[in-house]
Structures are given as C-alpha cells and as structure tokens.
Amino acid sequence: MEIVRNLARRRLRSTLTILGIVIGIFALTTMGAMAAHFNALLDGGARYYGSSIQVGAPDGQASILPMSKIDELKQVDGVAAVFPGYGFDAKPGSANVVNFGPPDTILSRDPAENTYNALKTPVAHGRDLTSTSRGEVVLGSSIANEFKKNVGDTIDLPVRPKDAKPDFVNHAFIVVGILAPTQTAPDVFAYVGVPDAQMLLEDNLPVALRDTIDSTQVAQSFTVYGQPGASIGTLDAIANRINHRVGGVKAFKPSDVVSAFKSGGAIFTAITTAAAVLALVIGGLSVVNTMIMAVTERFREIGLKKAVGAHTGHVLREYLAEAVLIGFIGGAVGYALGVALTNLLNLAGRSSNLELFLITPTLTAIALGFAVALGALAGVIPAFRAARLDPVTALRTTN
C-alpha cells in the first residue's frame, strides 16, 4: 500500500516512467505477435515438409508428371505412401503487392495423408473429403472467414476475378467441412478431392495442350512418405534413393526445406529480440531514472527506517518492490494495448487474408515477465544504493 501511495505522490513522474515501460512492452507485444504469427506459419511449413518428401519435375522442366511414377516411387526402399499433388491459385488475377503469408490456394487432399504427416489438419466443423469426393471442398479456417462460408454453403472456385475474360472457368463446390485453425498455411487452403483437382488442372492447361494431355494421368507433384514417425534423416535417405533410382523426377531432401524455413524464422526471432532490446532501453532507463530520484528524495525516510530496525535487506526489498510494481503496471498496460491493437488490425485484415498477428500464451508470459524483470533489473542499482546508505548520513540529509 505504501508503494502505491509513494507512486501516487509523484503522479506525473510515475506516469511518465510507466509510459516508458508501456511503450516498450507495447512494441514487444505487437512485434512479438507478428513474429509469433510468422513463426507459427514457418513452423507449420517445417512440420509439413519435415515429415514428407516433395517430388517434382527435374530442374527447368514443367511440373507435369505421369501418374505411372507413383508405382516407381512406391518401389523405392522405405517409401510407405505416395499421393499425387495439385495446387492452384484460388484468387487468380489478384494483385498481391505485399504478401505476408501464403496466398489463398486450392489443393488436392487425400484424407489418408493425415495418417503420415506430422502437421495434422483436423476438421472442426462438418466432415472431411472422401477418396471419391466430387464437387466438395474443405476450407481452411481463414479462407472460410474471408469468404464468410459455413458448412453447406457453396463456393465458386477459383474465385472469378473482377476483370475475368469470357473464357474464365470456375466450378461450384459445396463446403462439407471447415478445418480447425492451424495458424499456418492450411488456414488459407481450399482442399478438393483428387478427381476435382484433375479437373481444375485441365482448366489450367494451355488450350494447345488440353487435347494432348489426359489430366487424370498426370500430377503436378507427388508427396512421398516413409513410415509414420520416420526421422528427417530417414526421409533424406529416401529422397536420395528416389533421385538415384527414379528418372524424370526430382526429390527434395526434407532437411533442406526445413533449413530454409528455419532461416526464415530466424529473421522474425531477430525482430522480436530487437523489440525486446527497445523495451529494455526505453523502459529500463526510465525506471532507473525514477528510482534513483526516488532514492535521492527519500534519503531521510531510508535513514529513519534503518534507525527503527530495518535491515539492508528490508530496504532493498521495498525499493525493488516499487520498481517491480512500476514494471508490472507498465507491462500490463503495454500488453493490453498491444493485444487491443493487434486484434483490431487482425479484424481489419481478415477480409483480405491479412491477419498478421498471433498472441500466444508464451508471448503473454514473455511480455509480462519481461516487464517485471525489467522493473526488477532497473531497480536493483537504486535499491542497492538505498539499502547501503549509512543511517546517520541519510537522517541528516537535507532534501
């Protein structure tokens, strides 16, 4: 109570100090939420690509692969399952000048793939596709929000651009399921069955090739799996064997893909660290300044407390508690403002798939813990100064 009253007695100074922490923690929260969003995105990618082997066309060739390759791939030692892959832009013609995440994409989905991949995409509402699904789609949580679709609704895919040419083709799909949020790429994916994906591939083929290619006999890529739970080293070895034994394809080693995701994550970790340092500098210096002034102004109080029996540790604790309280108040306000702003921006960006922030329990703990630690750290020197004061000198000080 005395601590609160001491802060209240010097209202302007306390407010300015707390404001310093607020700014620091606000920066930490917003930048941290952005980093958490991107890290979740990249982590999802690392999990997906770290548990599968992507097989495409050899370098420099168009990615149209014969389905017969599935049998060849299955012959390779260690391969447990192979799925054909198809992917299309869900909003063709949209101008993504600044892209903060994967674009809305239509992908083929075989429910059996969930058995093998480490990145699980459970259905939250409705049901999953079946192996024979036609005219059905399962939407990721963000794309469902973006187009305000629920189970039972119909969605035309790909989405017709405003300036679509007369020969633009799309198809109506019934939404049969909506995935649980994953905070990663599947949130903006629309999954269709393989036969429908082959139909979309045919729509995408250049007119000159449509009559020469049977879309049911080709795939854009293959996703190859080892036994469920296979290590990345095992999968790398399988990728090497595929490249060695199967002609006309290129298998990417999962470890190479995961490394690329991790280096991307490092950038965002650096952003968080920079925000934390900013918070440390701004908030920490203001707390140090305030506490040094508080100690200087209260020499006689400290002397009196020591005269009536306070130990060095008592005085140290009291001043540290004051610094920690400043840190906590500033941290709580800064965090609350950060959460409010990121929620508002996410809400505003939802309609254009621009949700950039993710508040996680870890971020909450870091922001509040950091604020308290900052207060304590910044309060240590002034508190030591107060605690070590000679009582006679302190009592005789004229403020």
Partner 1 sequence: MSSIELVDLTKHYKQGRNVVRALDGVSLEIGAGEFVSIVGRSGSGKTTLLDLIGLLLRPTSGQVLIAGEDASRLKDNQRADMRGQRIGFIFQEYNLLPALNVLENVMLPLRYTKSRVEDGRGRALELLEAVQLSDRLKHRPDELSGGQQQRVAIARALINRPAIVLGDEPTGSVDTQTSQELVGLMRWLNREEGVTFVIVTHDLDLAGRADRMIGLKDGRVISDAPVLHAA
Q: Which is nearer to partner 1, 109 or 305 (CB)?
A: 305
303 lines the binding site for partner 1 (CB under 8 A): yes
x/- track of binding to partner 1 for residues 310-349 (CB under 8 A): xxxxx-----------------------------------
Single residue of 107, 139, 306, 358 touching partner 1 by CB under 8 A: 306
Of residues 24-63, which lie at the interface with partner 1 (CB under 8 A)?
A: none
Single residue of 300, 336, 356, 381 touching partner 1 by CB under 8 A: 300
296 lines the binding site for partner 1 (CB under 8 A): no
Identify which range of 97-105, 201-209, 245-253, 388-396 contacts partner 1 by CB under 8 A: 388-396
Least Cβ distance, residue 183 to partner 1 (angstroms):
47
Q: Which is nearer to partner 1, 380 or 395 (CB)?
A: 395
Single residue of 151, 174, 304, 321 touching partner 1 by CB under 8 A: 304
Identify which range of 179-187, 228-236, 241-249, 387-395 contacts partner 1 by CB under 8 A: 387-395
Q: Which is nearer to partner 1, 174 or 304 (CB)?
A: 304
267 lines the binding site for partner 1 (CB under 8 A): no
Mind spelling out the 3-state secondary structure of the chain? Answer: CHHHHHHHHCHHHHHHHHHHHHHHHHHHHHHHHHHHHHHHHHHHHHHHHHCCEEEECCCCCCCCEECCHHHHHHHCCCCCEEEEECEEECCCCCCCCCCCCCCCEEEECCCCHHHHCCCCCCEEEECCCCCCCCCEEEECHHHHHHCCCCCCCEEEECCCCCCCCCCCCCEEEEEEEEECCCCCHHHHEEEECHHHHHHHHHHHCCHHHHCCCCHHHEECEEEEECCCCCCHHHHHHHHHHHHHHCCCCEEECHHHHHHHHHHHHHHHHHHHHHHHHHHHHHHHHHHHHHHHHHHHHCHHHHHHHHHCCCCHHHHHHHHHHHHHHHHHHHHHHHHHHHHHHHHHHHHHHHHHCCCCCCCCHHHHHHHHHHHHHHHHHHHHHHHHHHHCCCHHHHHCCCC
Single residue of 35, 192, 305, 355 touching partner 1 by CB under 8 A: 305
Of residues 4-23, which lie at the interface with partner 1 (CB under 8 A)?
A: 5-6, 9
391 lines the binding site for partner 1 (CB under 8 A): yes
Single residue of 166, 229, 309, 361 touching partner 1 by CB under 8 A: 309
Q: Which is nearer to partner 1, 97 or 308 (CB)?
A: 308
Identify which range of 30-38, 116-124, 302-310, 350-358 contacts partner 1 by CB under 8 A: 302-310
Question: Which of 175, 46, 26, 195 minimizes the C-alpha distance to 108?
Answer: 195
Least Cβ distance, residue 17 to partner 1 (angstroms):
17
Contact residues: partner 1, CB under 8 A: 2, 5-6, 9, 300-301, 303-314, 391-392, 395
